[in-house]
Amino acid sequence: MLNTAFSSKSYQVIDVPSNKIIPLALLGILLLSIAAFPMSISSVAEDAQLGLPDGVDLCIPVEDSGLVDERLSSLGNIRYVESLEGCEVLVVGEGYLSKAANTVYEQLASRLACDEGFVIVIDGANELRCAFLEALFEALDANGLRMPVMPIENATADKTSYSIHPMLYSADIVAISFKPYGFTVIEEKTDTACDVAFAVNNYLEDKLLYAPGGIKTGAGTRMNPAVCVSPTSIEEEPPEGTTFIGSIGWKSTITYGMFGEPMGRLQARVQYYYCNATTAEGTFKFFFAYVQHWAMGFGYLGLFNYNPHIFYTTTDWNTDTYSDQVVQDWGPKNSGSNSVITYGVSVGVSGQTPTASASITYSVPGGLLIAWWDQGDPADGLAKTKHYIKDTLIDQPYTVEPSSTGFLDPEIGGAEPMVVCHEFWTDYGYSFYLINIDISFGANLYGNDVDEIEP
């Protein structure tokens, strides 16, 4: 799993200096072990339990022995080390990051060549992180790996470079984990031991949850030109004739009332599929985003029920930003009301026989009527749907599945990645008292992989 956890303390986005622009090609190597994984967000580092599971050693480079104090020692056994070998949990600072760049690269490359996962927690050393990340990218490249998700800002208009999110340089603590891959960012540390425990436990929890064999991944191969045929339903297995390139989610968030009572939960997942078709104009690269928007409301004291009613689901293919990204199809279109919604989405090239298509059907428990309205703007790349379910119940989940396809036009440029953004919004409660919850994230889509983008 790729778990990116952020502390919410005084979040501020700042411009990235020009020397921190990294070429996209640097991260273009196929990830061998996983395709893409969800990102979980934690609100406060202080909630971390001060302690680590038995048997977890904290490796400290000998150059950073000054990082160790009584509180950090309370987390577990401290081992002073000369390299990364044999370390699953490493806490580093200015000492280790001041090593020669080639030494850091060689140690990272050697450690990444192993099957076992590990996490590096960086405490301070903000001005040395740029060089460390450059060594890390080179080490990943040398092993045929790359981070499936990077906290980045938007790519440039020509999609040739992007800016790493400034939080990786400005936060007090940044932890980077591998196998499973992820980031934990703590802007302002209040207690080093507590914050380190928070970061390490993120990695350990993900390692337990996403043990090898528990995740299905895409084949990581491109389809032959003009071969894009899929069945008439979407299932857990990749549709025949297309490549399942990865998924993001389930992502989850919950809101609480003034007495700490849960009011509503929102979850979201998007699965991505790829195929292509070649014509005289070039190769058209098609991407299908299968969306699932889930919500459940709760009650309080038998007096207040926060039923979910209105679902806004948006997939933005960003045509207004990247002209080569074109919406091909989406659904459900128009408006209506029914107990079962069925629609099809397809891709294709005019004059070409091969197409990829899928038929999607969904309903809600109890056979309730679902009203829907297409609120998209295809010229800008926007696929947006509003659903309304009237007589919902508490403690009962409801799911809607508006989905869409887009393609990269080779006549305009057709450059990977396809940059897509998603937003999920649900209203809970009564007309006179509504709460709402939302989730948003972005993705860079390639013919064989998915990268998540921080919103």
Task: Residue 303: give its domain's CATH number.
Answer: 2.70.240
Residues β-bridged to residue 345: 358
Residue type at 176 in one-letter notation: I
Residues 118 and 65 in one domain: yes
* Torsional class of 200: left (φ above 0), alpha (ψ -120 to 50), beta (otherwise): alpha
Q: Is residue 224 part of a domain?
A: no
What's the whole-model pTM score? 0.61
CA quadruple 205, 206, 212, 216: dihedral positive or negative?
Answer: positive
What is the C-alpha to C-alpha distance for residues 428 and 147, in angstroms, rounded to an integer? Answer: 36
What is the C-alpha to C-alpha distance for residues 290 and 304, in angstroms, rounded to an integer? Answer: 34
Residues 178 and 306 in one domain: no
CA quadruple 233, 238, 239, 243: dihedral positive or negative?
Answer: positive
Q: Is residue 74 part of a domain?
A: yes
Residues 195 and 316 in one domain: no
Query: Mean pLDDT per 10-residue run, the chain (455 residues)?
Result: 38 27 30 28 39 83 85 83 92 94 94 91 94 93 80 67 81 89 83 87 75 34 26 42 81 86 92 84 89 93 87 96 92 95 70 61 89 96 96 93 93 91 92 84 91 79
Residues 34 and 117 in one domain: yes
Count of domains observed in the chain: 2
Residues 268 and 369 in one domain: yes
Q: Is residue 236 part of a domain?
A: no
> Cα dist. 315→370, 425, 443 in Å?
20, 12, 11
What number of other Cβ atoms are within 10 A of residue 403's Cβ?
A: 24
pLDDT of 250: 86
Whether the bond into 53 is cis, omega within 30 of 0? no
Instruction: Please choose, from the candidates 180, 186, 187, the residue with its C-alpha nearest in 3D space to the C-alpha of residue 205.
Output: 180
Enumerate long-range contacts of 133-136, CB under 8 Å, 24 or more apart.
133/22, 133/164, 133/168, 134/22, 134/101, 135/101, 135/104, 135/105, 135/108, 136/108, 136/176
What is the C-alpha to C-alpha distance for residues 9 and 314, in angstroms, rounded to an integer? Answer: 28
Residues 377 and 286 in one domain: yes
Q: Which domain range does residue 94 map to?
A: 3-209
pLDDT of 432: 66
Domain boundary among 162, 185, 209: 209
List % helix, strand, coil for the chain (3-state, nearest 5): 20, 40, 40
* Torsional class of 169: left (φ above 0), alpha (ψ -120 to 50), beta (otherwise): alpha
Residues 171 and 87 in one domain: yes
